[in-house]
Copies of this chain bind each other. A is one copy, B any other.
Amino acid sequence: MQMKATAVTANGLKAACSQCNLRELCLPFGLTGEEIDRLDELVANRRKVQRQHQLYSAGAPFEAIYAIRTGSFKTDVLLEDGREQVTGFQMTGEILGLDGISAEVHSCNATALEDSEVCVIPYGRLEQLSRQVESLQHQFHKVMSREIVRDHGVMMLLGSMRAEERLAAFLLNLSKRFMARGYSPAEFHLRMTRDEIGSYLGLKLETVSRAFSKFQDEGLVAVHQKHIRILDLDGLRQLLTHCAKHP
């Protein structure tokens, strides 16, 4: 399998990073063609994950990080009493598994929200290569740091915002990420349930549903099940900025 993958790379048929249209969003960002070729050798392996199946789960030994090629995932942590907290939704080009580096064991679950495919990046070899390739090292650090900044944003959301602000922030964030991938920033399909959105935003699913309905009534978005069309981007943004305390 290793051999096959490498062979395909050599043929340039359709293999790893060098041919991937996500490379500007992913680990290869900022690398020269030559450097990407070296990364290719290491990322040869892919893995398909079916909808609702786990890429890894909390407690599993950490061996690799993963770049999402197609599809999307959620990550979550579970409390002993069964409470679940969704810590993030990841889409193509984003990296999964960074939580595992610290204890050499994964600390959360990563579950595919749809049939998906990831590139497997063996961690030991990544460290090795990033000692040789400065730009790779730098980009890897940026990816980790970006995750930290993102997490701080979620804390802000969970700690200081009201229900509708949270949902607005969530939609704006998705919109931005879809746009970065060349999709419409105004019209998209949610891959997660209301319950999962609620868990991520620290709300109950009923509250999420009500907020969606409210946005719809106010003409901010058109919601039909999981299909979302943003009608008034600025309206959503304003909701975020100066909804403040006493409206």
Q: How far is the CB of A18 from chain B (nearest CB, A)?
A: 23
Which chain A residues (93-136) contact chain B, with CB distance < 8 Å?
98-103, 107-108, 127, 130-132, 134
Structural contact, A141 and B85, CB atoms closer than 8 A: no
Q: Which of B85, B107, B141, B242 contacts A159 (CB 8 A)?
A: B85
Structural contact, B241 and A101, CB atoms closer than 8 A: no
Structural contact, B202 and A102, CB atoms closer than 8 A: no
Structural contact, A148 and B141, CB atoms closer than 8 A: no
A211 at the interface (CB under 8 A from B): no
Contacts of A149 in B (CB 8 A): 99, 102-103, 107
Structural contact, B158 and A202, CB atoms closer than 8 A: yes
CA gap between A131 and B133 in the complex, in Å:
9
A142 (CB) vs chain B CBs: closest residue: B102
Interface string of A162-200 (1 = CB under 8 A from B): 000000000000000000000000000000000000011
CA gap between A141 and B137 in the complex, in Å:
11
Structural contact, B151 and A244, CB atoms closer than 8 A: no
Structural contact, B131 and A127, CB atoms closer than 8 A: no
Q: How extensive is the interface on chain A, given as a class? A: 35 or more
Among A20-28, A74-82, A226-234, the stretch in contact with B:
A74-82
Structural contact, B108 and A152, CB atoms closer than 8 A: yes
CA gap between A81 and B152 in the complex, in Å:
17
A32 at the interface (CB under 8 A from B): no
Q: Which of B103, B131, B138, B200 contacts A134 (CB 8 A)?
A: B131
A87 at the interface (CB under 8 A from B): yes
Contacts of A87 in B (CB 8 A): 152, 155-156
A10 at the interface (CB under 8 A from B): no
Structural contact, A155 and B151, CB atoms closer than 8 A: yes
Structural contact, A152 and B152, CB atoms closer than 8 A: no
Q: A101-B142, A142-B102, A199-B159 are in contact. Are A242 and B81 (CB under 8 A)?
A: yes
Contacts of A200 in B (CB 8 A): 159
Chain A interface residues (CB < 8 Å from chain B)? 77, 79-81, 83-87, 98-103, 107-108, 127, 130-132, 134, 137-138, 141-149, 151-156, 158-160, 199-202, 241-242, 244
15 A-B pairs, CB-CB below 8 angstroms?
A: A77-B153, A79-B160, A79-B241, A85-B155, A87-B156, A101-B141, A102-B143, A102-B148, A102-B149, A103-B149, A130-B137, A131-B132, A147-B148, A158-B202, A159-B200
